[in-house]
Chains A and B, each alone.
Chain A
Amino acid sequence: MKNYNRIIVACTLLFSLAGCKEPAINEGILPIYEPATVDAGGGNWQTILLRSGAEVSVPAPLAVTSTSYQNELAELKNTLYSIDPAQSTSVNYWATGGVIRWNQIARLLVSKYNLAPTYNSATSQFSDPQAARLFALLSVAQYDALVVAWRAKYQYNRPSILRQDVTPRIPIADVPSYPSEDAAIAEVSCRVLAYFFPAEVAWLQGQAADHKQSRIWAGANVASDVKAGEELAVPVATKVLSRAQDDRFSQAADPASTWQAKRTSAPYDQKWTSLSIPSEAPLLPLAGNVTTWYNAATTALSAPAAPPLTTSAPFQQALAEARELSDKRTRDQYSIAAAWADGAGTYTAIGHWNRIAEEQISYARQNELRAARSYALLNRTLQDVTTACWGQKYQYFVPRPSQVDATIKTASPIPNYPAYPSVRSAYASAATSILLYLFPSENIALNRQAGEATLAPLYAGTQYRFSVEAGTKWGNGLGSLAITQAKSDGAN
């Protein structure tokens, strides 16, 4: 009998090990916050592609005393007490912030379509240059639409739902409710993302519809608020997409393969070749010709000097350092390299900096308009950094360290484009400049991240120190240029 008891105990222990089937990721829960400021003057902030917030006119709403509005309000109050669990989940999901959520959706889709430039797989569709352009256009569209929305809010002053004897299910900003900023964000984001991801149109439209409806379920907006927000977004999206069609990105892949002649005549002694197996054409050779957001002539003034030739002592010194890092890479260096690799299948380095911005926006409890401004400032700068670096890369065609010395092993895949200057280091310094300008109290954390991100390509073995330093310096310069303009956009 004693033995049987032991067996029962053992079996119990054995089966207790078999837990629930778990997903690959346990998702975190994002905070829901009431914005720290309302920015009543936001309608006068300088727009980016629109001439001003007045370029798009928003029709006047019906008076709050009208029967139609009172009916909407009554319906809203009824809805508040009758939503089901799925609707409640939707309310909480979008309450994190429309700008933040659509930025996350963009990151998800970028990672989905950032297919591998690896063996026997499709060519990458969304690596850094494509992602930089997408995030810039998305956040510019959101920002311009919200300036229009903010202008109309304080022009018509339809009282916030908070002031109409309604307690919403979530914290909301005490700003005039007409037009709905969430509806504007949903519509404009959906249209911009649909341009980039035509296969996802139905899913995006579903997300947008859910976002808009969630504000009614939440008790934050009546239906006419939502309709007006949706309508104002349409001309903004049209203008942004018109810019996208004329920004010369469609030629970035160099369909005529002009890069080969350019490589032959490049002023460098040993030219870059693809280390991919099998060998592939470099990534977007003409992405350096894309239209910039800031003054391209000013950007060119601060371009880095020519890289040292491979026969020079500085180059040999840099190569020796790359070899030593490859031979004696520490676990910490490996960890930093992996943390900032952001390669195929991920939301790229641009998405990485957007995620970091999201944390800061959330900590600072920025309202939708201010959050969109933060993203627009960051992403325009990062796209210009990409354009600037790509132009230099395809001027010199500097080989990667492993091409010069095949014994150099890398902690992350070798990007299939020339080395100089390091675009990832430029991203790090430019993004950190922008984020420090927006969130100065976070300087310790941001500077630590910048230090790691800047050196990550060196630790990975995919870059030289002179390339990292040139990229860092140029990124700082481009960040300063963007900040100078931001200081006069009316948001300070």
Chain B
Amino acid sequence: MKKIIAGIGLLMLGVTSQSRAQGMMDGFMRGQRKASLAITASQETFNSYYVNTTETRDPTLGTVTTQALNAYGVYGLDYDLDFIVSASYARTDASAGYVPKHEGFQDIYGALRWEAFDFNFGKKARLAWLFALGYQQPLQNYVSDGLVTLGRGSRNFDGRTMLHFKGSWFFITAQYGYIRRGQVTLDRVINYYDPAQVNPNAGSKVNVPDVTEAILRAGITTKHLYLDGWVQRQTPYSAGTDIAPGVPFPTNAVGFTRAGATLYLPLVKKFGLTGTYSTTLDGRNTGKATQLSGGIIIGI
């Protein structure tokens, strides 16, 4: 059971409109030369979004829906080292107004997760200290300068550390990370008002604010069931901008607090079904999104 569920946390959140797969990593190691593959479908919707932190409903957008097909794989390079990869194909559309839909491959994410240290407490309890380094980049040149897009279009590095405690049937994982986002080249030259800018002739490249991330996840895991609940909080590290006319969306300081739950049910030895639900508790320059997803996990 433990082997197959490794990485459920990541795939359950999918790779959605804000490419938030980066970060939703769990503390279960896959094991040497073991692999698992998950295929899920997800749907995320929002009918209001945050301008800075003020919730706004926009009748020119209506409800924005993003549907995605997600693939996620993890392979144990060693007993204490996993390689993780994920990618998605998505379609996003608004129910009102004249904003066009977008469809295509989103980002690919790859990471190394390393269990650096572990402490055993008796025979059934164990505390592990993990680190992970990841990299993410768009799979295609999708539109990123808008509220209804496939993602933010930046190439990112992330580093994170996790403390993972597992008892006989329950676990808790605390995680903290930093996501370094690269520049994005807009389709236009920079032509909006920035009071700090003395030279309005600065080309098309803009900086995407970095974020810090904290995740707390707790749940139960038995032979017949995996169930967890989690809270994820992303906080912009750089000042960034707020949603406003003319302001490029990639420069917006995006943050949020989301909470969700994940369920995994094994069907036969190496196959299982999984589902997750999550909702946004608060946010900054992002949609107040609710997401539902489900799929299969195969252990190899």
A interface with B by C-beta (< 8 Å): 3, 6-7, 10-11, 13-15, 17-19, 21-30, 93, 104, 107-109, 111-112, 114-116, 118-121, 275, 277, 326, 329, 331, 334-336, 338-347, 351-352, 355, 358-359, 402, 408-411, 414, 461
Contact = CB atoms under 8 A, between A and B. Distances in A.
B99 A409 contact: yes
Nearest to A352: B191
Contacts of B281: none
A27 to B, nearest CB: 5
Interface string B100-131: 11000000000000101100000000000101
B247 to A, nearest CB: 6
A104 B200 contact: yes
A111 B195 CA distance: 11
Given A13-B131, A19-B210, A29-B199, 17 more contacts: A14-B160, A15-B178, A19-B180, A22-B207, A25-B190, A27-B199, A27-B202, A28-B203, A104-B201, A111-B200, A116-B245, A277-B59, A331-B141, A338-B186, A339-B187, A346-B245, A414-B98
Contacts of A121: 245
B194 A25 contact: yes
Nearest to A25: B202
Contacts of B131: 7, 10-11, 13-14
Contacts of A30: 199, 201
Contacts of B158: 17
Contacts, number: 171
Contacts of A93: 198
A76 B245 CA distance: 46
Contact of B197 (A25, A336, A352, A414): A25
A271 to B, nearest CB: 19
27 contacts: A10-B116, A11-B161, A13-B131, A13-B159, A19-B210, A22-B238, A23-B207, A24-B206, A24-B241, A25-B202, A25-B251, A26-B202, A27-B198, A28-B199, A107-B191, A107-B200, A111-B191, A116-B245, A119-B59, A121-B245, A275-B98, A277-B59, A335-B187, A344-B246, A345-B244, A409-B99, A410-B99
Nearest to B240: A24
Contacts of B59: 119, 277
Contacts of B241: 24
Interface in B207-246: 207, 209-210, 237-241, 244-246
A23 to B, nearest CB: 6
B178 A14 contact: yes
Interface of B: 56, 58-60, 96-101, 114, 116-117, 129, 131, 133, 141-143, 145, 157-161, 177-178, 180, 186-194, 196-203, 205-207, 209-210, 237-241, 244-248, 251
B207 A7 contact: no
A345 B116 contact: no
A5 to B, nearest CB: 10
A111 B190 CA distance: 11
B199 A6 contact: no
B239 A17 contact: no
Contacts of A352: 189, 191
Most buried by A among B145, B189, B247: B189
A23 B196 contact: yes
A25 B207 contact: yes
Nearest to B177: A14
Given A14-B160, A23-B239, A119-B60, A343 B245 contact: yes
B221 to A, nearest CB: 26
A345 B200 CA distance: 13
Most buried by A among B186, B244, B247: B244
A277 B60 contact: yes
Contacts of A338: 143, 145, 186-188
A107 B133 CA distance: 43
A277 to B, nearest CB: 5
B114 A10 contact: yes
A370 B272 CA distance: 75
B240 A334 contact: no
A99 B59 CA distance: 43
Contacts of B178: 14-15, 17-18
Contact of B237 (A18, A118, A409): A18
B137 to A, nearest CB: 16
Nearest to B239: A21
Contacts of A334: 143, 187
A17 B157 contact: yes
Contacts of A112: 193
Given A10-B116, A24-B207, A347-B191, A409 B197 contact: no
A121 B245 CA distance: 10
Contacts of A410: 98-100
Most buried by B among A15, A17, A342, A461: A17
Contacts of B142: 331
A108 B200 CA distance: 7
A110 B143 CA distance: 26
A411 B197 contact: no
B180 A18 contact: yes
Contacts of B238: 21-23
B60 A3 contact: no
A111 B116 contact: no
A119 to B, nearest CB: 5
A24 B194 contact: yes
A93 B200 CA distance: 12
